Every structure is written in C-alpha cells, then in structure tokens.
C-alpha cells in the first residue's frame, strides 16, 4: 500500500511504499523444546566414563582417553559450553529458523519518492512493523552451506582439536565485513518486533529510490497461519526541514508450513539440505 505525507513549509510531499512480503513459518514449538532437551542429554553422555568389561574395557577406556586428550577443552569446559547452549536455545529456540529464512527468501524493499522540487538533505526514514514480525539479515544462498538450525551448538566432545580451532578462526576472518556507505541501505534497528531505518545523504527533486532486496528479510514464526497482511508505520525527517512526516502501510503475509521439514532436519544425522524447504506444500 502506498502512503504519502505532505507539508507546505518548505514544500515536502513524499511517497513511501514497502515492497515484498512477510514470511510466516509454521513451526512446532513443542517439538523444538523436546529436541533441545534431548540434545543436551546426549551431549552430557559424551562426557560420561564408558562402562565395559575385560580387554574391551581397557581398549574402550584408552580410546575415550585418546579422544579427550585430542580435544582442546577439558570435560568441565565442554559441559559449561553445553549448559550455556541449552540455556540460550531454550530462551530463543527459533533464532536459527529465522536466520535460515534469511537465506531462502528475498528481502523487502523500500520505495521512496520525492514528489516535489524540494531538494532533501540528510533524510532518515524509520519504520516500525506491528504484530510479532521479526527482522533478520538477508544471507547469500549461493554460499552453498548446509542448513543448521542451531549453528552455535557445541562441537562433540573429542572432536575439537587445535587444527579445527585454527580453521574456525579462518572462517571468521573470511566472513568479516568492511565499512561502506550506508546511503539507501535498509538497516535493522531492532529484531523483534521489527524496527528498521534507512539513511539517505539526499533525495533529489522528483527522484524515486528503491532499496535492494538483499538487506532485510521479514519473518513470523508461529504454529498457525497469521492472516493475509500486517500493518506498519513510517516516520521521515530531513535536514533543514522543521517537521516530521508520518504514514502507515500494509504488507502481505505468505504462510509456509515448516513443521515437517524442521523435524526431518533435526532427526537426520547428515548435513541439512536446503532443498528440504522447497518440497511439498512449501512452494518456494
């Protein structure tokens, strides 16, 4: 829906429209909670001494001891990681699901049009979206990484050696970003409920600007279809203009049932395949 605001001193008439959609995802929250508890129990079993008899006991004890010494963490450090992970996962079980949506869907765009001959400087557009809509960064799907709904999960005991720590540091270095101009870039000010902002150095007379769709993805996570649309509001200010311009908009919601794909990913021991979210009723 197009929204306009105008004033007469100086002459300002702007038109704002949000393009795209909110991606509503059906998720079984009870299953997620059960899986998180099950995973914690299995983590803790990895740190327990193994029981066996005879020569098998000796061989197994030696194998476990070798794995423990190869790990850069002590058993206490590993269990502390597990506790911290469990606490975080219980508090925010759908964070990884929201990030996954950021890989699979296009982001929203903002269309802003200056309908007058007034040259606007230092433009700031603030956007708030109603209901339980989350904002997440758009992520490049071409990177080809497997889907991981809990990417911060601890590495299994005995599997984190020094070479892996070095490799993880290299990944972090490669993923580092460098500053660039924020002109016309849609930024997340708050994840939930979504609050966005866009800064523009200028908006020329009768200029129309549309932001890119690789910046912010809007997501709702629930166990039911939330309906056809949600509403939001915007607020625009500009340098040398002693006024505030406000308006409202609506944005369509598209519902997808992710309950079975999530169950399949979390019960499969192999790496998560993104195609699981493109089959059946999902119709991506």
CATH number at residue 231: 2.60.40.10
Whole-number percent of the chain with pLDDT over 90: 59
Q: What mean pLDDT do residues 94-116 have?
A: 95
- pLDDT given at position 251: 95
What gap in Å lies between CA 267 and CA 35, rounded to an integer?
A: 9
Q: In terms of domains, do 124 and 224 share one?
A: yes
Instruction: Tell whether 175 is covered by a domain.
Output: no
For the chain, the average pLDDT equals 83
Q: In terms of domains, do 74 and 98 share one?
A: no
What gap in Å lies between CA 145 and CA 233, rounded to an integer?
A: 36
Q: In terms of domains, do 69 and 191 share one?
A: no
For residues 36 and 272, the model is more confident at: 36
- pLDDT given at position 6: 59
- pLDDT given at position 75: 92
- pLDDT given at position 259: 93
Q: In terms of domains, do 275 and 242 share one?
A: yes
Q: In terms of domains, do 188 and 130 share one?
A: yes
Instruction: Tell whether 152 is covered by a domain.
Output: no
Q: In terms of domains, do 12 and 100 share one?
A: yes
CB 174 within 8 A of CB 183: no
Q: Examine the pLDDT at 99 and tell me if it is beyond 90.
A: yes
CB 250 within 8 A of CB 1: yes
Closest CA to 11 of 268, 243, 280, 267: 243
Instruction: Tell whether 162 is covered by a domain.
Output: no
48: containing domain? 29-92
Q: What mean pLDDT do residues 108-133 have?
A: 94
For residues 61 and 77, the model is more confident at: 77
* CA 229 and chain centroid, separation: 21
- pLDDT given at position 284: 32
- What is the per-residue pLDDT across 189-246, written as a single tens digit (0 to 9) for each? 999 999 999 999 999 999 999 999 999 999 999 877 778 899 999 999 998 888 999 9
What pTM did the predictor assign? 0.80
- pLDDT given at position 160: 76
Please name the residue that has the structure tokens 């699981």: 276
Instruction: Tell whether 171 is covered by a domain.
Output: no
Q: In terms of domains, do 77 and 205 share one?
A: no
Q: In terms of domains, do 104 and 230 share one?
A: yes
CB 149 within 8 A of CB 271: no
- pLDDT given at position 147: 85
Model confidence band, residue 173 (pLDDT cutoffs 50, 70, 90) = very low
Q: In terms of domains, do 109 and 188 share one?
A: yes
- pLDDT given at position 48: 87
Model confidence band, residue 274 (pLDDT cutoffs 50, 70, 90) = low
Q: Of 92, 109, 128, which one is at a domain's C-terminal end?
A: 92
- pLDDT given at position 2: 67
Instruction: Tell whether 123 is covered by a domain.
Output: yes
Q: In terms of domains, do 188 and 250 share one?
A: yes
Coil, strand, or helix at residue 250?
Answer: strand
Least confident of 154-158, 173-177, 194-198, 243-247: 173-177
- What is the per-residue pLDDT across 2-58, written as a single tens digit (0 to 9) for each? 666 655 555 789 999 999 999 999 999 999 999 999 999 999 999 987 665 555 545
What count of residues does the chain have? Answer: 284
Q: What mean pLDDT do residues 141-152 have?
A: 85
Model confidence band, residue 87 (pLDDT cutoffs 50, 70, 90) = very high
Closest CA to 240 of 5, 9, 8: 9
CB 92 within 8 A of CB 192: no
Coil, strand, or helix at residue 157?
Answer: coil
Number of other CB atoms surrounding residue 186 within 10 Å: 24
Instruction: Tell whether 145 is covered by a domain.
Output: no
Between the alpha carbon of residue 41 and those of residues 22, 49, 54, 77, 266, the distances in Å are: 36, 15, 28, 16, 15
- pLDDT given at position 5: 63
Model confidence band, residue 168 (pLDDT cutoffs 50, 70, 90) = very low
Radius of gyration of the chain (CA): 24
Paired with 275 in beta bridges are none
Structure-token pair, residue 8: 């007469």
Number of compact structural domains in the chain: 2
Coil, strand, or helix at residue 138?
Answer: coil
Instruction: Tell whether 156 is covered by a domain.
Output: no
Q: What mean pLDDT do residues 90-101 have?
A: 95
The H or E element that residue 188 is part of is: strand 186-190
Q: In terms of domains, do 6 and 48 share one?
A: no
Instruction: Tell whether 153 is covered by a domain.
Output: no
Q: In terms of domains, do 134 and 50 share one?
A: no
């Amino acid at each position: 829906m197009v929204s306009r605001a105008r004033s007469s001193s100086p002459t300002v008439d702007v038109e704002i429209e949000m393009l795209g959609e909110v991606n509503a995802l059906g998720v079984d929250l009870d299953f997620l909670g059960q899986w998180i508890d099950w995973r914690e129990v299995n983590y803790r079993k990895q740190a327990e001494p193994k029981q066996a008899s005879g020569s098998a006991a000796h061989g197994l004890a030696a194998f476990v001891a070798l794995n423990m010494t190869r790990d850069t963490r002590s058993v206490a450090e590993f269990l502390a990681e597990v506790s911290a992970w469990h606490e975080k996962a219980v508090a925010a079980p759908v964070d990884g699901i929201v990030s996954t949506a950021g890989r699979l869907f296009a982001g929203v765009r903002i269309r802003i049009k200056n309908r007058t001959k007034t040259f606007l400087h230092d433009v700031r557009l603030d956007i708030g979206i109603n209901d339980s809509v989350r904002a997440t960064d758009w992520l490049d799907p071409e990177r080809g990484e497997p889907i991981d709904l809990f990417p911060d999960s601890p590495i299994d005991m005995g599997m984190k050696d020094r070479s892996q720590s070095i490799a993880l540091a290299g990944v972090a270095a490669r993923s580092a970003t460098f500053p660039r101009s924020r002109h016309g870039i849609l930024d997340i000010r708050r994840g939930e409920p979504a609050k966005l902002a866009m800064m523009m150095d200028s908006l020329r007379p009768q200029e129309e600007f549309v932001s890119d769709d690789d910046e912010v993805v809007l997501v709702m996570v629930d166990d039911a279809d939330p309906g056809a649309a949600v509403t939001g509001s915007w607020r625009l200010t500009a340098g040398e203009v002693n006024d505030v311009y406000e308006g409202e908009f609506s944005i369509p919601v598209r519902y997808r049932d992710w309950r079975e794909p999530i169950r399949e990913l979390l019960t499969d021991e192999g790496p998560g395949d993104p195609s699981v979210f493109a089959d059946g009723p999902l119709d991506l």
